[in-house]
Amino acid sequence: MGMTDPEQSRRQFLAFLAASPLVAAAGFDRNAFARFIGESPDSPKRALGLAQHIAQQSAPQPPLITAAKDALDVFDFEPVAQQKIPIAHWGYLATGTDDDRTIQANREGFDRWALRARRLIDVSKIDASVSLFGTRYPTPIIINPVGSQKAFHPEGEIAVARAAKSQNHLQVLSTVATTSIEDAIAARGGPVWFQLYHQSDWAITRQIVQRAERAGAPAIVFTVDLLGGSNRETMIREARRDTRECIKCHLGGAPLPGISGRVDDRDNRRKPNLVGYEQQTPIMEVGTPTWEFIDRLKNATKMKVLIKGITTQEDAKLAVARGVDGLFVSNHGGRAENSMRATITSLPDVLLGAAGKIPVICDGGFRRGTDIFKAMALGATAIGIGRPYIWGLGAFGQEGVETVLAILRKEFEVVMKQSGTTSLAKITRDHITPR
C-alpha cells in the first residue's frame, strides 16, 4: 500500500530536516536521525518527536532561575540541577533503560486523559489529605526512594528529610541511600518508610529489615522490578564523559554509580544501610526471589510490607493473596524494563487485581498537579515522585526540595478546585475522560 499524501509530506520534511545543520547543532547524529525515516511505521513518528526536540533546543532558552522562589513549575529546577551536578551523577539520575523510551512513555501516558471540570461547587475549603496506615499526610504526594542522594548535594537525604518534615510529607528511604535510616528518621522527626533491595544473603537481609524496624520505620517497601538487572545506556555514556577520579566513592575511581542496575555489594563505603551487621552463618539465596520470599519477609517483621514494581492485575492478585499490605505501581521511573507501558496506564490494571483491599500508590513521570489528579481519579491512593525533588535538591538543597513539593501541592489543589472536588474521596473517574 502506498503512502498517503500526509505521510509522504512528513517523510519529505523529515528528510529535509535530517540534512539541516540544526540536527548537528542540537547534538544528534545525522545518519542515525535519517535512519529513523522509513524503518517502520513508528519511525517517522519517532523522528518527528526528535524534530520537535531539535526545534526546542534551537529556540532561545529562558535564563536559568537563580533562587528556588523564582520557579514557576518543577521543570525550572532541572537545567539548574544539571548545571550543578557532575556529569556521571547526572547520567545516573537521568537514565532509563535501553533507549530511555519508557521514561518518555510515562510522561505521554498522562496525555491520554483529559479533565472534565465541574462548576458552581463551593471549593473555598478543600482537604487534599490522605491516611496511610494510620498516619495522615496533607497531600497524597510521597517522596519516593532515590539512591545516592549525596551525589546530587552534600546534604543528600538529610536535606530531603528536613524538607519532608517542613512540608509534612511521607519519605521513603532507599537501601542504597547515602544516609542511614536512623539519621533520616531523626532529620525527618517522624516516620520514614524503608525501601528494600534484595541481597544475596538472607542473613544480611533479615538484619537490614530488623534494623529498619528498630529505627522506627513503620513500613518496608520491597522493590521487585530490578531483580533482572537494567541496561542503563544513558548513564554509561554520561559517565564516560566524566574525567574525574573518584577513589573516595567508587571502586577503581570511575564515577559509575548503579552500573549494574542491581545493588553492588563490593563497595559500600557510601551506603550506611548496607554495613555494620553481625557476621552470621550465611543463608545464601538460590536464584532470584519468588513469592516465597514475600512470605519470608512478612514473617521477619511486624512492619507493613509493600511491594514496589507491580504493573499487572495478575501480580496484584497474587500480592493480595500473600497478605501484602500495599503496592507501588512502578517501572522504576523508566529505568527497570523498557516496557513502553506508562505506569498511569498500568494503574487501572493493578487496581482491578487489588480490588480495593490494599493501598495502591503510583509513581513514574509525575511532574504536574494535573498528573496527580488523573492518577487519583483512576483510583490511586497516593502518588510518588523521584526526579523532580532531586532536581530541587541538586539546584538549591533543602529549599529546592521544599519548593518542588509546594509547587506540586499548589498545582494539585488548583486542579481539585477547578474540578469541583473538595476532598480526595470526591475525585472519581467521572472527572476524567479519554482524549
C-alpha of 434 from chain center: 24
pLDDT at 266: 52
The residue ranges of the chain whose pLDDT is under 70 are: 1-59, 246-269
The pLDDT tens digits of the residues spanning 132-164 come to 999 999 999 999 999 999 999 999 999 999 999
> Is the CA virtual torsion 236, 241, 243, 246 positive or negative?
negative
Q: Which sequence spans correspond to the domains of the chain?
A: 1-60, 113-434
Return the H-helix or E-strand segment holding 172: strand 171-173
Backbone φ/ψ region at 372: left (φ over 0), alpha (ψ -120 to 50), beta: alpha
CB 377 within 8 A of CB 431: yes
pLDDT at 269: 66
| Residue showing cell 542496575 | 261
> Is the CA virtual torsion 26, 31, 34, 35 positive or negative?
negative
State how far the Cα of 407 lies from the Cα of 296, in Å rounded to an integer. Answer: 40
- The DSSP secondary structure of 270-330, one letter per residue, reads T-GGGS--------B--SS--HHHHHHHHHT-SSEEEEEEE-SHHHHHHHHHTT--EEEE-
φ, ψ at 249 (rounded to 5°): -115, -30
State how far the Cα of 155 lies from the Cα of 160, in Å rounded to an integer. Answer: 8
Closest-CA residue to 394 (of 169, 148, 187)? 148
Distances (CA, A) of 113 to 208, 360, 416: 41, 19, 16
pLDDT at 165: 98
CATH of 113-434, one of 3.50.50.60, 3.30.200.20, 3.20.20.70, 1.10.1660.10: 3.20.20.70
In single-letter form, the type of residue at position 243 comes to T
Catalytic sites, residue numbers: 332
DSSP state of 63: P
Distances (CA, A) of 116 to 40, 415, 424: 36, 11, 16
| Residue showing cell 526528535 | 50
Strand partners, 361: 328, 382
Strand partners, 383: 141, 362
Q: What three-state secondary structure class fits 308?
A: strand
pLDDT at 241: 85
pLDDT at 243: 78
Q: What is the CA radius of gyration of the chain?
A: 22
In single-letter form, the type of residue at position 183 comes to D
State how far the Cα of 297 lies from the Cα of 317, in Å rounded to an integer. Answer: 18
Closest-CA residue to 98 (of 265, 389, 331)? 331
State how far the Cα of 206 lies from the Cα of 201, in Å rounded to an integer. Answer: 9
State how far the Cα of 240 lies from the Cα of 260, in Å rounded to an integer. Answer: 15
State how far the Cα of 5 lies from the Cα of 28, in Å rounded to an integer. Answer: 28
CB 149 within 8 A of CB 156: yes
Strand partners, 192: 171
pLDDT at 263: 46
How close are the terminal C-alpha atoms of the chain, in Å? Answer: 29
DSSP state of 127: B
Return the H-helix or E-strand segment holding 25: helix 21-25
